[in-house]
Amino acid sequence: MTTLSPIPTDGPHVVHDTALNLGDVVDVLLLRDYNTMLVVLATVVLGLAAGAIGTFLLLRRRALMGDALSHAMLPGIAIAFMVMVAFGGSGKSMPGLLIGAAVTGLLGVAAVLAITRLTRLKDDAALGVVLSVFFGFGVALLGIVQDMPEGSPAGLASFIQGKTASIVRKDLWLILIVAGVVALMTVLLFKELALLCFDEAFASVQGWPVLTLDVMLLTLVTAVTVVGLQAVGLILIIALLIIPPAAARFWTERLGVMLALAALIGGLGGWIGASISALVPRLPAGAIIVIVVATIFVASMLFGARRGVVARLIVQARLGRTVRRQHLLRAIFEHVEAADAEDAEPIVVEATLVQERSWSRAALRRLLRWARRRHLLAAVGDGRWRVTDLGLTEAARVARNHRLWEIYLIHHADVAPSHVDRDADQIEHVLGPRLVRELERLLEPAHPAGTVPPSPHVIGPEGG
Amino acid sequence: MTTAPASRRAARERPHVATGAEHHPDAPLSIHDMTVAYHRKPVIWDIDLDIPAGKLVGIVGPNGAGKSTLIKACLDLVPRASGRVLVYGRPYPEQRRRVAYVPQRETVDWEYPINALGLVTMGRYGQIGWFRPVTRRHRAAARAALERVGMQDYADRQISQLSGGQQQRVFLARALVQDADLYLMDEPFAGVDAATERAIVQVLRDLQAAGRTVLVVHHDLQTVPTYFDWVLLLNMRVVAFGPTAEVFTEDNLRKTYGGKLTLLDAAAQAMARAQR
């Protein structure tokens, strides 16, 4: 490990080659080794804090600001090293390097704000300029530092990609404390930041110091970024800030839950990332952390309970199915109504039904099979179906809701009778029981319960 | 109540000085000599007026007349080039608790992870103060405010799942929960359904009955005479300001809207209806 990290370290115990044995894996995952435990713990707390404060960064739409911030930290690291060497130090004091990083990072953010305020450039352009210029400047300075006779600057490059193994034990305490404080502040400022992110103008009118709150948010993000540099690296730290809250959003509509989930996802990414990195030293923790949280993100995007793609498709499919079934029932009712034969058996004919609406023969068959399974229809052969008593009741209920809704639209919403069928069609399938009761209450006197009012319009081949 | 041109000119010659006698010391909102400019282009000029207590005041004028800007400048949301604003006789920053603001609905992201009750509770954050959590008492107040706008059944609904009118009512409830004396509302009637319009009008009347003062940026000339007892006709400058019956005249509307005759027709009908 020391061959990989020129900065002397008493870091975690790791195996030297890729040949892993089970014992080592178990040791790392169960945090048996004290140093490994410290590294993993620090990365987990870092992930927790980043996910939590990242939630507000995301909701404030400042995601890319975090990226500019971290990239602008590179020149600060190089400059801090030079300054410390110039004053006779070794240049390896971690707090010194991190202070340098924070200073140029914030300068970068200030440059973005200055460009957007003083010119007519939009912030994406300003972010692009600042991010690349500061980073390029940092790379150039690192090159100069490499040639300096004094000091041993080789470890500085690990700030770019991150390497948990290069973290010294006392730096771990720094990470733990700073990330812990950030997480605590995020909870304390929950209400204030929530208001700031939702409605800045309203917050200002209430007397909240919006600028101060923004600075606090930025300070917390800067703190997480600075202490995360060594573990995750300045290129990938943005992933730890943004991906966990973005993934959490798919699971909940509540900010508190989103924040907790984001912290959890960040912490999980930190745990797995640091563990794997401890086992396979050539794999930088930052990359593993990004892969872990990105996997969680993709899974959340697809399967998230609230906003996930699959959940939405299922809701849509269910609605579509309900609509088609109600259409069938209404078509059945209209047939029975038109036949108007009191004593004859209510029969519907498949060949006639298929012309009623723009449904395919196959789709109609599927619906008819569903109706038979539900004992709403009974096949009498030859494409003819008898409507059961249950089927009649259900069909009447659906037709009644449809017509009540039509009548409501005509009398209370000024919709022309010729348009009412189409408008009614769009809404009635999503009428909940409460709305139906409301409709009934409104229209009760004219249309008592249990009766189906006559259709307010002519039932054509495509309507009804 | 319209300011005489001579006194306004006199006021302009003495910038940043209270204009004295013509201003009522305890007016809910007293605007002295206010000019607002964006990128050096003036948006509103020399606004100098007192909003009288207990009135429902409508602010009307064409697009770009500076209606929203007037409200925002009073609330320090946009910088003033000159002039000052007094709320109940004292500078606005000292009187924030007495002022509630309803911004335009489009100014926020309705996909934000919060439900209707949570949004309304935000109206209390100023009273709750730094670091303190929201308590049951504040949530109860928020529920009561939701009830006043007829939205009590939607308290747990995520805000993106509310219709535009329902969102507007929730916004109004958030201002009501502040229990302020002066309400500034930016286009609360924009794009709302009939039920919401009725609910908002009822709230306005309730506020007036309770002695509150309400300033509403409004776009529908037809409803001005029925909704508002005072009106401010604005087109970068104050065209007319006073009781609706006196200043909401065809002549003043023509001055406000210039050549837009279709609007005048609408207004003429509205006045005919109001006088009936």
* ipTM metric: 0.85
Measured between beta carbons, the chain A residues lying within 8 angstroms of B77 are: 201, 204-205
Closest listed residue to residue B98, CA positions, set B122, B137, B127, B59? B127
Is A315 found in the same domain as A297?
no
A460 and A418 in contact (C-beta within 8 Å)?
A: no
CATH number reported for the structural domain that contains residue A459 in this entry = 1.10.10.10
Is A163 found in the same domain as A54?
yes
Tell me whether residues A191 and B108 touch, CB distance under 8 A.
Answer: no
Is A438 found in the same domain as A396?
yes
Tokens of B156: 């747990």
Closest listed residue to residue A18, CA positions, set A289, A279, A288, A286? A279
Domain boundary among A288, A304, A320: A304
Burial state string for A269-286 with b = 16 or more CB within 10 A and e = fewer than 16: bbbbbbbbbbbebebbbb
Q: How far apart are CA A144 and CA A132, in angstroms?
A: 18
A384 and A420 in contact (C-beta within 8 Å)?
A: no
Predicted pLDDT of residue B267: 59
| Stretches in chain A below the pLDDT threshold 50 | 1-16, 18, 462-464
Site of tokens 């210039």? B258
Tell me whether residues A208 and B125 touch, CB distance under 8 A.
Answer: yes
- Nearest neighbour of A201 by CB, restricted to B99, B100, B107: B107
Per-residue pLDDT tens over the stretch A251-286: 999 999 999 999 999 999 999 988 888 888 788 888
Closest Cα of chain B to A18: distance in Å?
44
Q: How far apart are CA A326 and CA A248, in angstroms?
A: 36
Predicted pLDDT of residue A370: 92
CATH number reported for the structural domain that contains residue A89 in this entry = 1.10.3470.10
Question: Going along chain B, which residue ranges are E strands?
Answer: 29-38, 41-51, 56-60, 82-87, 90-91, 99-102, 182-186, 213-217, 230-235, 237-243
Cα of first residue to Cα of last residue in chain A, in angstroms, is 78
The total of structural domains in chain A comes to: 2
Burial state string for B257-276 with b = 16 or more CB within 10 A and e = fewer than 16: beeeeebbeebeebbeeeee
| Contact B112/A at CB under 8 A | yes
Burial state string for A402-437 with b = 16 or more CB within 10 A and e = fewer than 16: bbbbbbbbbeeeebeeeebbebbbeebbebeeeebe
SS3 B22: helix
Tell me whether residues B112 and A59 touch, CB distance under 8 A.
Answer: yes
Is A350 found in the same domain as A336?
yes
Predicted pLDDT of residue A231: 83
Domain boundary among A304, A320, A338: A304
Tell me whether residues A206 and B126 touch, CB distance under 8 A.
Answer: yes
Is A335 found in the same domain as A273?
no
Q: How far apart are CA B248 and CA B245, in angstroms?
A: 6
Tell me whether residues A191 and B107 touch, CB distance under 8 A.
Answer: no
Tokens of B56: 């429902």
Per-residue pLDDT tens over the stretch A316-338: 888 888 888 888 988 888 888 87
| Helix B136-148 / helix B164-176 crossing angle, nearest 10 deg | 130
Task: Give residues with Cβ within 8 angstroms of B86, minimum separation 6.
Answer: B23, B27, B29, B30, B32, B92
Q: Which of B110, B112, B184, B186 to mutate to test the interface with A (most CBs of A within 10 A)?
A: B112
Is A314 found in the same domain as A292?
no
| Helix A210-232 / helix A34-59 crossing angle, nearest 10 deg | 140
Cα of first residue to Cα of last residue in chain B, in angstroms, is 25
Q: How far apart are CA A380 and CA A345, in angstroms?
A: 11
Is A102 found in the same domain as A181?
yes
Sign of CA dihedral A423, A429, A435, A439: positive
Tokens of A403: 């017509």
- Nearest neighbour of A254 by CB, restricted to B76, B103, B113: B113
Burial state string for B100-138 with b = 16 or more CB within 10 A and e = fewer than 16: bbbbbbeebebebbbbbbbbbbbbbbbebeeeeebeeeb
Q: How far apart are CA A133 and CA A129, in angstroms?
A: 6
A276 and A325 in contact (C-beta within 8 Å)?
A: no
- Nearest neighbour of A253 by CB, restricted to B115, B125, B178: B115
Q: How far apart are CA A230 and CA A77, in angstroms?
A: 11
A328 and A356 in contact (C-beta within 8 Å)?
A: no
Task: Give residues with Cβ within 8 angstroms of A32, minimum separation 6.
Answer: A26
| Interface list for chain A against chain B, based on CB atoms closer than 8 Å | 59, 188-189, 191-192, 194-195, 197-199, 201-208, 249, 252-255, 258
Tokens of B256: 């406000």
Q: How far apart are CA A46 and CA A231, in angstroms?
A: 9
Residues of B numbered 194-253 whose beta carbons fall under 8 angstroms of chain A's beta carbons: which are they? none
Is A241 found in the same domain as A326?
no
Is A141 found in the same domain as A214?
yes
Tell me whether residues B118 and A255 touch, CB distance under 8 A.
Answer: yes
Give the domain extent around A433. 308-464
Domain boundary among A244, A278, A304: A304
Is A252 found in the same domain as A331?
no
Q: How far apart are CA B134 and CA B137, in angstroms?
A: 8
Is A283 found in the same domain as A323?
no
pLDDT (tens place) for every residue of chain B, 276 residues total: 444 444 444 444 444 444 444 788 889 999 999 999 887 777 898 999 999 999 999 999 998 889 999 999 999 999 998 999 999 999 999 999 999 999 999 999 999 999 999 999 999 999 999 999 999 999 999 999 999 999 999 999 999 999 899 999 999 999 999 999 999 999 999 988 888 999 999 999 999 999 999 999 998 999 999 999 999 999 989 999 999 999 999 889 888 887 554 555 565 666 666 655
Is A286 found in the same domain as A386?
no
In this prediction the pTM is: 0.80
Closest listed residue to residue A242, CA positions, set A108, A61, A55, A109? A55
Tell me whether residues B122 and A202 touch, CB distance under 8 A.
Answer: yes
